[in-house]
Amino acid sequence: MKKIKVILVDDHAVVRAGYKILLKNIDVIEVVAEAANGEDAVKLSKDYNPDVIVMDISLPGMGGIEAIRQIVLLGGNTKILVFSMHEELVFVEQALQAGAYGYITKSANPQLLSKAIKQVYKGEKYIDDELQKKMLYKKSTEVVPQLSNLSTREFQIFCLLAEGLNTAEVSKQLHISYKTAANYGSQIKNKLNVTTVADIARIAIRHNIIKA
């Protein structure tokens, strides 16, 4: 039987070790590589062409959402399963929008990991039960502004601005020009109907994206 080749991506080595323990007795799953950041995840995806990447989205460097987007742009058959501490629906929406096939939280039953890997490998979406309940009962009239209206790149920059980075720092971290970073900042403010970075931070706090 063909084994499902898996790459684990998390910036904490102890977490990756825990994943491997969970998966080592699953005959059809083989962990072929590990990465601690988004850049390495993209590189390893090219090198190994894995069936499934299990990825956190809180990663140093480019971040998990951007890494998902770049891996999807490679055009292979790799399916991405997000395994994250973030339970806010905006993260689920952004991950799926970027191209992830599944999303489970680290508070879910650990035994769900292998089930989720097998399901996304078959090309089927997998969202853990608690998140599905949240999505089903999500209020039809959300508090404006709606973060789900932001593109993947805009959401990434929104998070960086909310954390206190200025335009020059965003430009440097994402390897884009200052002008491009500034344009994104303006687009984000327009979409959210705000005028200052302080407003952006307040929205992020309200949605539990950053802590006050």
What is the architecture of the domain spanning 4-136? 3-Layer(aba) Sandwich (3.40)
The pLDDT value recorded for residue 138 is 59
The pLDDT value recorded for residue 175 is 86
Which of the four CATH numbers 1.10.3470.10, 1.10.10.10, 3.40.50.10860, 3.10.350.10 does domain 147-206 have?
1.10.10.10
Has residue 111 got a pLDDT over 90? Answer: no
Question: Nearest to residue 181, comparing CAs of 195, 167, 193, 194?
Answer: 167
Pick the range with the lowest mean pLDDT from 47-51, 70-74, 131-135.
Answer: 131-135
3 state DSSP class of 60? coil
Listed by start position, the domains of the chain span: 4-136, 147-206
* Mean pLDDT, range 114-121, rounded to an integer: 95
**Pick the residue with more confidence: 121 or 130?**
121
Contact 128, 104 (CB under 8 A): yes
Has residue 159 got a pLDDT over 70? Answer: yes
The pLDDT value recorded for residue 141 is 46
**Pick the residue with more confidence: 130 or 169?**
169
Distance CA 116, CA 50 (A): 15
Distance CA 16, CA 12 (A): 7
Distance CA 173, CA 161 (A): 12
> What percentage of the chain exceeds 70 in pLDDT?
93
Has residue 174 got a pLDDT over 70? Answer: yes
The pLDDT value recorded for residue 145 is 54
The pLDDT value recorded for residue 184 is 94
DSSP 33: E
The pLDDT value recorded for residue 143 is 52
The pLDDT value recorded for residue 140 is 44
The pLDDT value recorded for residue 142 is 54
Does the fold of domain 147-206 match that of domain 4-136? no
What is the rounded average pLDDT for all residues in the chain? 88
**Pick the residue with more confidence: 76 or 178?**
178
Contact 2, 52 (CB under 8 A): no
Torsion angles phi and psi, residue 211, rounded to 5: -95, 145
The pLDDT value recorded for residue 106 is 87
The pLDDT value recorded for residue 75 is 86
